[in-house]
A and B are shown apart, each in its own frame.
Chain A
Amino acid sequence: MSHLRPALVLVAAFTLLLGVMFPLGMVGLGSAAFPTQAGGSLVMRDGRVVGSALVGQSFTGEKYFHPRPSATTPDPYNADASGGSNLAATSKALVDRVQRDMAKAGPAPVPADVVTTSASGLDPHISPDNAERQVARVAAARGLSKAEVEGLVAAHTEGRLFGLIGEPRINVLLLNLALDAQPAR
């Protein structure tokens, strides 16, 4: 029983140290040094929060670029309940869903991210190929030239860091915000 005191004391001390002091200190450091990031990288427009630059949101209108399908429940891009479809590669439900979505996806071959759900259900990005296929639709809906939209897409395409790390991608929310910011014609 000589072990009882150290066990209780250390659990209590570490709870105080690692569970209270350091996390709260980190919260303080975050709000002081990285206020935007610590608060969730929220994006404001006209003084209102329109979303987080890191978290995807649902777009269904013709004039917006569409994100990937999302498997969150009850609605897609529910940022309060992240998650993937968890469908297996051989799942009939997966194959049926993809088959359904292929109808709207345009001519084959379709880039994989067009018809697959992400792991988090909150993927903020799409691939350049995916965006490329949506340019004509968005341009038509907004009455913009394809070149203008392509220009915006290009400007919002993030490449690989040092040409190696990560994959080329486009943040859908930021691209759509930029589209909305285009002067109307």
Chain B
Amino acid sequence: MTMIGWGQSLLTLTLVFACAFPLGRYVARVMSGDRSVLSPVLRPVEHGLYVLAGVNPTRGMGWRGYALALLMLNAAHFLLLYAMLRLQYWLPFNPQGFAGMSPRLALNTAMSFVTNTNWQAYAGESAASNGAQMFGLTVHNFLSAATGIAAAAAISRAFAAGNVQALGNFWADLVRATLYILLPLTLVVSVALLAMGVPETLAASAEATTLEGAKQVIALGPVAFQEAIKLLGTNGGGFFNANSAHPFENPTALSNLLENLSLLLIPFSLAIAFGHWVNDRKQGVALLCVMALLLLAFASAAYAAEAAGNPLLHALGVAGGNMEGKEVRFGIAASSLFAASTTATSTGAVIAMHDSLTPLGGLVCLFLMQLGEVVPGGDGSGLYGMLVFALLAVFVAGLMVGRTPEYLGKKVQAREVKLAMLAVLVLPLSILGGTAISLVTASGLGSLSNAGPHGLSQMLYAWTSATANNGSAFAGLSADTDLLDYGLALAMFLGRFAFLVPVLALAGSLAAKPKLPTGAGTFPTHGPLFVGLLIGVILILGGLQFLPALSLGPIAEHFAMLAGKTF
């Protein structure tokens, strides 16, 4: 670890927080339909879309209506994407002449992009055409992120006022999140990336003759635009197989700074937006602090582990930290921060191969996803996941001040606890259940590329990543099998919608409650005490159940590595 390494990480995070405050305020405004600097340009487009779709943006929806609309959009968008992937051979912009994906792979991929997971059981440059990447994957990067932001706005509204039924209008939320938040940021970031060297062309590849006379086919494509939304939308599906480690996706250290900033930006801003939505900015800052502290702690742990390097290689005479699966231009500090950031958000883009991280580096990635993607989590999903934990924290500890627990003036009672627990249950059920089944079947074992505890970690990582809608992988795993294509598609579905629907029901239940005034007897939910409590609850309620699995995977591997064992 070096001072420069720490400096790089702190610079990135400082920039994120510096941008999160103004952006959060902006997000809160535009999601409420208020005017903003972009209104003159975007209002006509927005209204045009409402007219086309036959939507009255001011008509509020109850939680059921909101959930139904959300599911309907996602179903439509799933079917369209599935069709595109199957039919990509006949679609335009297929210079490579890629055949359609198999039904199994298309199902997995469509589910993956609809759920904001972007798990890729295929290699981007060798299985998806430019057309499919543009029409299908790019669009869904926008829509899945906008779906998350909409849901986060909906649950925030439940805290804002008392005795209301409506959570907002899903269609308006979706259109606003896309037009006012995602699109402008994507344009800015993609132009910057373009200037730094990220290609944007309809050509599929260029052919070069190397200095030593060999032929090198260099895959190209319309990368810049997709790269920007992939990060801003916390999607993470790479244009290329190597994802953001590919020099065309992420050519320089500066582009990497921008990309790391982009993937953290909206999730942190939503915490601030939450404070604005509930008219108590300190609440948003408290959530941001919880997210930031946990991210900082885990990123530091990853950095320490990667900088310490691999003692097995040290024994052979290799100097320095762990560079296997990392790029020279990024180095260890930036790679560690990105690894923590991408798993702490539900992005899943990588600039270093997570499979080749040190065991503890991999542990950080696994654990951050298993916490439910809340530090800061995906666009929207991070905020609503965090609110579920906040409700549980308030419930467990809130009794300790001698009142029926309440969060932001909303009482947390049996129904809320039931829905929160229902949502929280999805993670262990899908992650541990899927991993255990895969590890006792021949098909599952056949997918592993590593033996010993790391093999367990690979499988655990796949199910964790899918359930947490992250999409990064211990990529040595062969994921295009019946078991994993179908199984992980189910995990992605559960991780997204079996979490979201209870959360919306929770929002409906909270919205209908009166908003109680706060006083000296109210459980304080800002300030360091609550921040510490919430961190504790996230670690204990969110993380503890994974400890047995982790101790058989990365933890065992770590101690084995120290003891000089290989597998």
Indicate yes or no for A touching B, C-beta below 8 A.
yes
Q: Contact: A8 with B76, CB < 8 Å?
A: yes
Q: Contact: A37 with B198, CB < 8 Å?
A: yes
27 contacts between A and B (CB under 8 A): A7-B69, A7-B76, A9-B54, A10-B49, A10-B171, A13-B52, A22-B187, A23-B134, A26-B191, A26-B225, A27-B200, A31-B201, A37-B199, A39-B199, A40-B206, A57-B214, A78-B217, A83-B475, A85-B356, A95-B313, A110-B319, A112-B319, A114-B318, A116-B313, A118-B328, A165-B254, A167-B334
| A141 contacts chain B at the CB level, 8 A cutoff | no
Encoded as 1 (CB less than 8 Å from any B CB) or 0, chain A from 1 to 18 comes to: 001111111110111001
Q: Enumerate chain B residues within 8 angstroms of A53, measured Cβ to Cβ.
A: 197
Which 3 A-B residue pairs are closest in the complex by CB-CB distance?
A166-B253, A108-B317, A86-B476
| B316 contacts chain A at the CB level, 8 A cutoff | yes
Q: Contact: A88 with B355, CB < 8 Å?
A: yes
Select which of B125, B175, B356 is within 8 A of A89 by beta carbon: B356
Q: Contact: A111 with B320, CB < 8 Å?
A: yes
Q: Contact: B135 with A10, CB < 8 Å?
A: no
Q: Contact: A90 with B566, CB < 8 Å?
A: yes
Q: Contact: B245 with A119, CB < 8 Å?
A: yes
| B394 contacts chain A at the CB level, 8 A cutoff | no
Size range of the chain B interface in the assembly: 35 or more
| A184 contacts chain B at the CB level, 8 A cutoff | no
Q: Contact: A127 with B328, CB < 8 Å?
A: yes
A40–B125 Cα gap in the complex (Å)? 14
Q: Enumerate chain A residues within 8 angstroms of B214, measured Cβ to Cβ.
A: 57-58
- Shortest Cβ distance from B220 into chain A, in angstroms? 5
A84–B49 Cα gap in the complex (Å)? 44
**A-B interface pairs (CB < 8 A), number:** 379
Size range of the chain A interface in the assembly: 35 or more
A86–B186 Cα gap in the complex (Å)? 31
| A61 contacts chain B at the CB level, 8 A cutoff | yes
Name which residue of chain B comes closest to A44, CB basis: B208
Given known contacts A9-B52, A55-B248, A95-B312, A85 and B76 CB-to-CB distance under 8 angstroms = no
Q: Contact: B329 with A91, CB < 8 Å?
A: no
Q: Enumerate chain A residues within 8 angstroms of B330, measured Cβ to Cβ.
A: 166-167
Select which of A11, A87, A108 is within 8 A of B143 by beta carbon: A11
Given known contacts A79-B218, A84-B356, A121-B242, A89 and B135 CB-to-CB distance under 8 angstroms = no
Q: Contact: B324 with A117, CB < 8 Å?
A: yes
- Shortest Cβ distance from A113 into chain B, in angstroms? 5
| B367 contacts chain A at the CB level, 8 A cutoff | no
Q: Contact: A40 with B201, CB < 8 Å?
A: yes
- Shortest Cβ distance from A40 into chain B, in angstroms? 5
- Shortest Cβ distance from A131 into chain B, in angstroms? 11
| A41 contacts chain B at the CB level, 8 A cutoff | yes
A56–B455 Cα gap in the complex (Å)? 31
Q: Enumerate chain A residues within 8 angstroms of B351, measured Cβ to Cβ.
A: 119
| B357 contacts chain A at the CB level, 8 A cutoff | yes
Q: Enumerate chain B residues within 8 angstroms of A152, measured Cβ to Cβ.
A: none
Select which of A54, A98, A127, A176 is within 8 A of B197 by beta carbon: A54
| B321 contacts chain A at the CB level, 8 A cutoff | yes
Q: Contact: A98 with B313, CB < 8 Å?
A: yes
A89–B351 Cα gap in the complex (Å)? 17
Q: Contact: B199 with A68, CB < 8 Å?
A: no
Q: Enumerate chain A residues within 8 angstroms of B276, measured Cβ to Cβ.
A: none
Q: Contact: B356 with A11, CB < 8 Å?
A: no
Q: Contact: A86 with B142, CB < 8 Å?
A: no
Q: Contact: A49 with B319, CB < 8 Å?
A: no
A54–B353 Cα gap in the complex (Å)? 19
Q: Enumerate chain A residues within 8 angstroms of B8, measured Cβ to Cβ.
A: 164-165
Given known contacts A26-B225, A82-B240, A7 and B125 CB-to-CB distance under 8 angstroms = no
- Shortest Cβ distance from A115 into chain B, in angstroms? 6
Q: Which of B123, B142, B216, B310 has the most CB of A within 10 A?
A: B216
Q: Contact: A4 with B138, CB < 8 Å?
A: no
- Shortest Cβ distance from B154 into chain A, in angstroms? 15
Encoded as 1 (CB less than 8 Å from any B CB) or 0, chain A from 55 to 80 comes to: 11111110010001000000001111
- Shortest Cβ distance from A19 into chain B, in angstroms? 4
| B7 contacts chain A at the CB level, 8 A cutoff | yes
| A136 contacts chain B at the CB level, 8 A cutoff | no
Q: Contact: A42 with B331, CB < 8 Å?
A: no
Q: Contact: B210 with A50, CB < 8 Å?
A: yes
- Shortest Cβ distance from B15 into chain A, in angstroms? 11
| B77 contacts chain A at the CB level, 8 A cutoff | yes
A105–B332 Cα gap in the complex (Å)? 22
Q: Contact: B328 with A125, CB < 8 Å?
A: yes
Q: Contact: B53 with A5, CB < 8 Å?
A: yes
| B527 contacts chain A at the CB level, 8 A cutoff | no
Given known contacts A11-B77, A49-B208, A165 and B253 CB-to-CB distance under 8 angstroms = yes
- Shortest Cβ distance from B313 into chain A, in angstroms? 6
Q: Enumerate chain B residues within 8 angstroms of A111, measured Cβ to Cβ.
A: 319-320
| B430 contacts chain A at the CB level, 8 A cutoff | no
Q: Contact: A10 with B53, CB < 8 Å?
A: yes
Q: Enumerate chain B residues within 8 angstroms of A11, measured Cβ to Cβ.
A: 73, 76-77, 80, 139, 143
Select which of B196, B242, B253, B450 is within 8 A of A88 by beta carbon: B450
- Shortest Cβ distance from A161 into chain B, in angstroms? 6
A84–B352 Cα gap in the complex (Å)? 9
- Shortest Cβ distance from A32 into chain B, in angstroms? 11
A40–B221 Cα gap in the complex (Å)? 9
- Shortest Cβ distance from B115 into chain A, in angstroms? 16
Q: Enumerate chain A residues within 8 angstroms of B246, measured Cβ to Cβ.
A: 82, 120, 122
Of the candidate stretches B30-38, B288-296, B518-526, B557-565, the one touching chain A is B557-565
Q: Enumerate chain A residues within 8 angstroms of B323, measured Cβ to Cβ.
A: 112-113, 116
| A147 contacts chain B at the CB level, 8 A cutoff | no
- Shortest Cβ distance from B135 into chain A, in angstroms? 4
Q: Which of A39, A88, A92, A98 has the most CB of B within 10 A?
A: A88
| A160 contacts chain B at the CB level, 8 A cutoff | yes
| B205 contacts chain A at the CB level, 8 A cutoff | yes
Q: Enumerate chain A residues within 8 angstroms of B76, measured Cβ to Cβ.
A: 7-8, 11
Q: Contact: A23 with B247, CB < 8 Å?
A: no
Q: Contact: A86 with B139, CB < 8 Å?
A: no
- Shortest Cβ distance from B440 into chain A, in angstroms? 21
| A102 contacts chain B at the CB level, 8 A cutoff | yes
A85–B202 Cα gap in the complex (Å)? 29
Select which of A27, A60, A92, A164 is within 8 A of B212 by beta carbon: A60
A20–B454 Cα gap in the complex (Å)? 42
Q: Enumerate chain B residues within 8 angstroms of A144, measured Cβ to Cβ.
A: none
